[in-house]
Amino acid sequence: MTYAKIIATGSYVPEKILNNEELASMVDTSNEWILSRTGIKERRITTDEEKTSNLAYNACLEAFKSCSIDKSEIDMIILATASPDIIIPSTGCILQTMLGISNHIPVYDLQAACSGFIYGLSSANAYIKSGKYKNILVIGADTVSKFTDYTDRNTCVLFGDGAGCAILQGTEENTGIIDCDIFADSSGIKSLNANGRLSKGKVEGYPYIKMDGQAVYKMAVKNLTQAAINIMNKNGFVEEQISWFIPHQANLRIIEAVAANLSFPMEKVIITVDKHGNTSAASVPLALDFAVKSGKIKPGDLLLLEAVGAGFTWGACLVKY
C-alpha cells in the first residue's frame, strides 16, 4: 500500500505589515475591537506588484531548501487559490515557469476558497495512492487584499496575504496522510462571496468580499467540529492521541470554540492568526510550516488539519508526520 508523506513544508508572507492601529485610521474600528473579536493583531499585505504566484514561488523555494528532492522530480503541481494572477492561464502554470520546471507534468489551480489546501492534500493523496504520481507539490496561496474593500470594517480587518506549501511523496511505509475528508454545501453562497463577474471586459457586481459574519461563525464551528469527530471516529482515534490541531486561521474565537467542543487543550492548537489574519488557502500550510520550523511538530506526531471557507467548503485531514 502506498502512503503520501509530507517530506517538506514552506511558507512566505509579504513584507508589508498592516496592523490594527493603521486599520483604525482607515475605518471606524479599534485595536481593542479587532483583538477581542478575532485575535488578529496584524496581517501582511502585498504591494500592487506582488502577485499570488510571487508568494507561492517564495514558499516553494523554502520547501525545496528543506528536502533533498530536486524540482525536476516533482510530477504534479496543485495550486489552491481564490486569487489567481490573471484569468488564464492558471497561476499554477505561471508558478511552473517561475520554478523552472520544464518537464510536461500536470499543473492546475484548485478553487475551494479557504479550504483549498485541504482539498489539495485530498487530491494529492488520491493521486499518490493510485500509484500514478510520486512527488506532488501542493500550495495554498492567496492575495485576498486584492479583493478586500478597505472601506468595509466588517471584512477588511480579517484578511491578509500569504502562501504555504507541502511536498508530498509516495512511500510504502505506514506514515503520512491517514485520511482526508472534503465537503461542500452551496447553500452558504449567500453568506460569503465576492460576486463581481467579468462581462465583455467589464466587472459587473460588487467585486469585494461580502460576509454575514455570524452565519459564517456558526457554520465554521459546527462543520469543523463535526468533520473532526467523523475523521477521528472513522480511523479509530480519540482526541488525546492527536499531537497537534492545525485549524484554519480565520478567527481565534472560532478556533477556541472548536477546540473546546473537541476537548483539545489550547496548548495542542497551532495559532498564527494573530500575526497573519485570515490568509484563505494559505492559512493551514502557513500554520503547518510555522509549527514544523519552530520545532513543535516532531516526526511521528499525529496532526489534525482542518479548514472551512466560502462555498461553504470544509475539510479535515489526519496526518502522521
Question: Residue 34 or residue 286: which is nearer to ligand ACO going by CB?
Answer: 34
> Counting beta carbons within 10 angstroms of the beta carbon of residue 215, is it exposed (0 to 12), middle (13 to 18) or buried (19 or more)?
middle
Least separation in angstroms between CB 201 and ligand ACO: 30
Q: What is the distance between the alpha carbons of residues 203 and 206, in angstroms, rounded to a whole number?
A: 8
Between 102 and 195, CB nearer to ligand ACO: 195
- Cβ-based nearer residue to ligand ACO, 255 or 303: 255
> Which residues, 6 or more positions from 260, have their beta carbon under 8 angstroms from its beta carbon?
none
CB–CB of 80/141 below 8 Å? Answer: yes
Q: Which is closer to ligand ACO, CB of 110 or CB of 220?
A: 220
Measured from the CB of residue 90, what is the shortest distance to ligand ACO in angstroms? 23
Written as nine digits, the cell of 302 is 499525529
Cβ count near 146 (within 10 Å): 18
The pair phi, psi for residue 163, each rounded to 5°, is -150, 145
Residue 143's nearest CA partner among 89, 213, 84 is 84
Task: Name the closest residue to ligand ACO (Cβ).
Answer: 213
In degrees, rounded to 5, the angle at the alpha carbon of residue 266 between the alpha carbons of residues 125 and 17 is 80
Residues binding ligand ACO (CB under 6 A): 29, 33-34, 37-38, 114, 153-154, 157-158, 192, 211, 213-214, 216-217, 220, 248, 250-251, 253-254, 278, 308-309
Residues with catalytic annotation?
114, 248, 278
**3-class secondary structure, 278:** strand
Distance, CA of 202 to CA of 283 (rounded, Å):
31
Nearer to ligand ACO, 120 or 170 (CB): 120
DSSP codes of every residue in 128-153:
HHHTS-SEEEEEEEEEGGGG--TT-H
Q: What is the smallest separation between the CB atom of 251 and ligand ACO, expressed in angstroms?
A: 4
**Least distance in Å: CB of 158 to ligand ACO?**
5
Nearest distance, CB of residue 152 and ligand ACO, angstroms: 9
Whether 166 contacts 138, CB under 8 Å: yes
